[in-house]
Amino acid sequence: MISIRLIVETVAEGYGVRAADIVSQRRTASVIWPRQVAMWLSRELTPCSLQVIGRHIGAREHGTVSHAIDVVRRTIDDNETLRAEVEALATAVEAVAVGRALLGKPIPTDFDVVAMARRLLATPGAASMISTDEVRALAAAVLHTADAMTEEEIIHG
């Protein structure tokens, strides 16, 4: 699930600012564009209203959020480089959301992981034909765990 928090964290990382600064009352140049992008992405990627977006991003009024959305829309319409940058952030948000959703699923136990590993090793290109559940089952077997790994374990080992 895509949340405003996830969007703010991803945008902050993408622009090299702190998420706390995006949701703060600070108006420094280094934070204004990332904050506006976070508002635009929140409108594009969530069903949240302008009021809800404003409440989560620095207790801002819906008019401020609407203005930010308009600024980003006009800017990315006119600037191909910034459009690609914002689209890359949207893709990153979606990828993280999918990854988090997969982490919450139990690891399948009904796969013959040894046969699957042999098939992968014996057939070039077979890796592109296995399902996400098969990948997760293989990973669990390799890691000798039947429990889903937490995001923290995946990131930090």
Per-residue model confidence (pLDDT) at position 127 = 67
Cα 27 to chain centroid, rounded: 25
Residue pair 116/134 in contact (Cβ under 8 Å)? The answer is yes
Instruction: For residue range 55-108, list pLDDT tens digits in order.
Output: 999 888 999 999 999 999 999 999 999 999 999 999 999 988 887 776 666 666
pTM (two decimals): 0.67
Instruction: For residue range 22-65, list pLDDT tens digits in order.
Output: 999 989 999 999 999 999 999 999 999 999 999 999 888 999 99
Domains, the chain, ordered by start: 4-103 (1.10.1750.10), 106-156 (no CATH)
Site of tokens 């409108």: 43
Provide the token pair at 4. Answer: 């405003």
Site of tokens 């090793």: 121
